[in-house]
Amino acid sequence: MSIDLSRLQPLGWSNFFTAQIPLEQFESARPARVVRVERGCWFVDSGLEAFPATLAGRLHHIHTDPHYVTVGDWVLLAAHAPVIVERLERRSLIERREAGGIDAQPLAANIDLMLVVSGLDGEFNLHRVERYLVLAAEAGVLPLVLLTKADLADDPARAVEQVRRRLPAGAEVLAVDALRAPLAGRLSPWLEPGTSLVVVGSSGVGKSTVTNNLAGQPLQETGATRRDAKGRHTTTARSLIRLPGGACIIDVPGIREVGLVAEGGVDRQFGAIADLARDCRFVDCTHQSEPGCAVRAAVDRGEVDPDAWAHYLKLLAEGRHNLAEHERRRRDRVFGKLVKATVAAKKQGHGR
């Protein structure tokens, strides 16, 4: 039995994944995409329908990370059983820092486009949107910002312009009424067959409404937003859904905190400021009060938005701190394992 590309391509399969399968295994390989993850069970789709699968025991032993296989991953199954025996290399991985934690939490793998959804009914926050843009930049994924509930805003064009000034090249922002107006037509340039999208945002901004709108049917539960504009969780788990036009979309539960994993995405998102920083007199310039700071000089000349500059400094410091804490914890874990192994070896020696 050979791989049926016609069934896999609508799920996002491409030559990138085909190249990872040795020619001698191509006839027997059973690739599938992870469409949902629950405790101890991965739901995968090999082109016909989704079914539950388990992780091979050796993978549990080798990879202690509970997020080793996540939604959007492509995996290989055992020849005659629904068992995941290998995870293929990822094209991209969108991840964020867990609330109150240091370890990264993956949101979705092998994504082409991040739909950043923000409501115009009181939830809109430019800095929060920009945090998602940093996550997209870190993953090398194109962002598309959807400002929902445009019918409730007095001046949606103002919010659109605010976001547009912060977007990277090729990205776009749209003000939409996802509850009433069809979105498939407006988003058609980004919904090519085989494209994988992930929709992210706070609870109550209309992510599930956007997903249902694009799917053309109520696949995801939706709920009313509270009077204080704080949303309720309606999506409880990440799941991959096929859209009528041939694209796939992953709806992610509302995110309360958009913690950054590292500072790399910050420099990519704030490319103009990062370029200026290379001309600073001091390599370790903090871009605040040092003499010869090219960034601060550009701010003083009115060439850099002071708000963008201040947010850049905040996110850069956060990313560097999180990366340092992650490395410290990694060293502590390695040292802990070494101590346990040494103690065990001594006990074994005394036993003899």
* pLDDT at residue number 90: 96
pLDDT of residue 24: 86
pLDDT value at residue 333: 64
Q: Please, what is the end-to-end C-alpha distance for the chain in angstroms? A: 54
Kindly report the number of other CB atoms within 10 A of residue 282's CB atom: 10
Over 60: is that where the pLDDT of 100 sits? no
Share of the chain above pLDDT 70, in %: 82
Alpha-carbon separation of residue 184 from 11, 95, 110, 137, 337 (angstroms): 18, 27, 22, 25, 52
Is a pLDDT exceeding 80 seen at residue 223?
no
Residue that wins the pLDDT comparison between 204 and 225: 204
Give bridge partners of residue 87 from the DSSP assignment.
75
Q: Find the mean pLDDT for residues 231-257.
A: 77
| pTM, full prediction | 0.81
Q: What is the DSSP string of 79-136?
A: TTSSEEEEEPPPS-EEEEEPTT-SSEEEEEES-SEEEEEEETTTT--HHHHHHHHHHH
Q: Which of 185, 120, 132 is nearest to 159 (CA)?
A: 120
Strand pairing category for 74-77 and 93-97 = unpaired
Burial (0-12, 13-18, 19+ Cβ within 10 Å), 200 = buried
Amino acid (1-letter code) at residue 23: L
Write down the number of H helices and E strands in the chain: 10, 13
CB 79 within 8 A of CB 28: yes
Return d(Cα 256, Cα 275) in angstroms, integer. Answer: 31
Q: How many residues can be counted in the chain?
A: 352
Which range among 54-58, 288-292, 296-300, 322-326 shows the weakest confidence by mean pLDDT?
Answer: 322-326
Q: Which range is least confidently modeled, 91-100, 233-242, 252-261, 327-336?
A: 327-336
Query: What pLDDT shows up at residue 307?
Result: 92
Confidence of residue 229 (pLDDT cuts 50, 70, 90): very low
How far apart CA 263 and CA 134 sit, in angstroms, is 9
Q: Of the segments 55-69, 88-102, 225-239, 302-316, which one has the largest average pLDDT value?
A: 302-316
Asked whether 248 and 240 are in contact (CB, 8 A), the reply is: yes
| Whether the predicted pLDDT of 34 surpasses 80 | yes
The string of pLDDT tens digits covering residues 104-158 is 788 999 999 999 999 888 778 899 999 999 999 999 999 999 999 888 888 899 9
- At 249 the pLDDT is 94
Query: Minimal CA–CA distance to 295: which of 315, 286, 319?
Result: 286
Question: Hey, how many other C-beta atoms are within 10 angstroms of the C-beta on 179?
Answer: 14
